[in-house]
Amino acid sequence: MIEDGRVERRLWPVRAGDGALPAAVIGTVALVLADSSIVVLALPEIYRELDVSVATVVWVLISFNLVLALAAVPSARLAASRGPALVTFAGLIVFAAASLACGLAPTIEVLLLARCLQAAGGAAAVCASLELLPAAVGSERRAVAAWAAAGAAGAALGPGVGGLLTEFISWQSIFLVQVPASALLAVPLVAAARREAEVERPAREPAGRPHLAANMALGLISAGLAAALFLVVLLLIEGWRLSPAVAAAAVTVMPVAALATAPLARRIAAGVEARAAAGVILLTGGLAGLGLLPKASVVLTFPPQILVGIGLALTLSALTEAALAGRSSQAIHGGFTIAARHAGVVAGLLVLTPLFTADLDTQRRDAEEAGTAALLDAPLSAGAKLDLAGRIGDRIREEEDRVPVLGPAFEPLPDDPAERDQVTALRATIEDELDRAATHAFSRSFLLAAAFALAALIPIGLARRRLEL
């Protein structure tokens, strides 16, 4: 029994410093929550290989987050009744098996089914782990902080890791590496589950009602955050036609900013509402900045990403603390936060995907027209124009509904130096048109995501006025 804040209650039989258990539990949370975003950079590769549209492949993300949201609270209740170590262990095993199935999936249907199973196992592992942590790390407050930080780090680092694996191995490797990782994390849980089975279960306390304001705010910022991760990646790969590795390096700015800020955020003396509200404002500013990029430049995504990262560190920890403080059981209330966050991700993706796919299609067509205008008006001979037009047309048809990579259409360059300069200038003009179109195509979605994030100020403000919802 430990005392923490306003709560005094019996905990499961895990001792502070119980071997590798705390590290395994924190690793489990990071691994599972990384999965909600780890495939983002692989999505273009997946939809090319499995021959589906962007609107379909986004369900690889939506299905996982939806099942995680739905299964979180029931999983937490299961952990409270059956024992958290056992449920975490079982969840990890299901997660590992489903990861293997994802990695071997030959069709989008199998992949989506495996993703659902992966989320179900993941929900059990993540929610149950919160019940184990307080005793393992010695304090409920430290447990919540570690749990929230592990989740944020996993979610933020996921895209970068996924991008590198996709670039240097394959999209399947993202899932296959999770099999041994899950198995490794499950090992310390075996002993804890055995000990758990030998002792009398703590008396079950009725779970109080969830902190609605904090959970609503978490849902809204998660909707905005999903956009930040998902849209930035698609902008870099699909819009600006960068490789997954370069895109992975570019989006690493956001988690680095979040991780660098997290320890500082905990030292800020301002209250929970102020930290949460400041985080929301930074998140909104960063997303609005991404929606207002003045040109297609990776470097220009860094300042908005830094604001998003700092905002994420401030607001996620503050809201998670608020949602869990003094509430019992931790697993069930942790389940509510997981459900709220991932429901927010699902809502964000469902609202934003049709918007940006429609905008991307419109802008791609506008760019094709602007590029064609540049070609028709270029100071080239009629023969050179017709030749280029044919090759550009072939590239556009090969890339079907995507923003085309037109570089190969301009190769080889003409031998005549004057004509070569003209073709090079034309290529730069057309590629600039494509970049303009792609960047503009994501603007409305980023601005809508910023509005989602900003809306989180409403529940935070209501809670501050003591109008608990």
Give min distance, CB of 377 to another protein, in A.
8
Give min distance, CB of 115 to another protein, in A.
33
- Interface with another protein includes 294 (CB under 8 A)? yes
- Whole-angstrom Cα distance, residue 324 to residue 331? 9
Quick note: the x/- pattern for another protein over 353-372, rule CB under 8 A, is ----------x-xxxxxx-x
Of 106, 382, 411, 417, the one binding another protein (CB under 8 A) is: 382
For 23, the token pair is 């590290």
Of 9, 82, 141, 201, the one binding another protein (CB under 8 A) is: 141
Coil, strand or helix at 257? helix
CB nearer to another protein: pick between 373 and 413: 373
Judged by CB under 8 A, the chain residues 395 through 414 that form the site for another protein are 396
Of 311, 334, 335, 344, the one binding another protein (CB under 8 A) is: 311
CB nearer to another protein: pick between 77 and 440: 440
CA contacts within 13 A on the Cβ side of 345: 28
Report the candidate in 119, 121, 133 with the shortest Cα–Cα distance to residue 334: 133
**Residue-wise over 439-462: b if at least 16 C-beta within 10 A, else e?**
bbbbbebbbbbbbbbbbbbebbeb
- Interface with another protein includes 381 (CB under 8 A)? yes
Query: Taking contact as CB under 8 A, which single stretch among the options 62-70, 121-129, 260-268, 408-416 is the one that binds another protein?
Result: 260-268
- Interface with another protein includes 269 (CB under 8 A)? yes
Give me the torsion for CA of 312, 318, 323, 326, rounded to 10°: 150
- Interface with another protein includes 9 (CB under 8 A)? no
Q: Distance from CA of residue 176 to its chain's centroid? A: 19
- C-alpha to C-alpha distances, 418 to 320, 353, 408, nearest whole angstrom: 63, 45, 20
Give me the torsion for CA of 19, 23, 24, 27, rounded to 10°: -170
Give min distance, CB of 358 to another protein, in A.
15
Quick note: the x/- pattern for another protein over 203-242, rule CB under 8 A, is --------x-xx----------------------------
Of 268, 405, 413, 428, the one binding another protein (CB under 8 A) is: 268
For 196, the token pair is 């758990």
CB nearer to another protein: pick between 195 and 385: 385
Give min distance, CB of 143 to another protein, in A.
13
Query: Taking contact as CB under 8 A, which single stretch among the options 56-64, 186-194, 234-242, 382-390 is the one that binds another protein?
Result: 382-390
Q: Between vectors from CA 212 to CA 265 and to CA 64, what angle results, nearest 5°?
A: 80
> CA-based Rg of the chain, rounded to a whole angstrom?
24
For 236, the token pair is 């870099």
- Interface with another protein includes 264 (CB under 8 A)? yes
Contact present, 295 and 443 (Cβ < 8 Å): no
CB nearer to another protein: pick between 14 and 272: 272
Coil, strand or helix at 3? strand
Helices (H), 41-138: 43-49, 54-57, 59-82, 84-104, 108-137
CB nearer to another protein: pick between 17 and 393: 393
**What DSSP string describes 394-410?**
HHHHHTTTSPP--GGGG
Judged by CB under 8 A, the chain residues 405 through 464 that form the site for another protein are 433, 436-437, 439-440, 460, 463-464
Of 18, 131, 196, 273, the one binding another protein (CB under 8 A) is: 273
Of 46, 150, 242, 322, the one binding another protein (CB under 8 A) is: 322
Contact present, 227 and 449 (Cβ < 8 Å): yes
Would you tell me which residues interact with another protein (CB under 8 A)? Answer: 5-6, 141, 211, 213-214, 264, 267-279, 281-282, 284-286, 288-289, 292-296, 300, 303-304, 307, 311, 314, 318, 321-322, 324-325, 363, 365-370, 372-373, 376-377, 381-382, 385-386, 389-390, 393, 396, 433, 436-437, 439-440, 460, 463-464
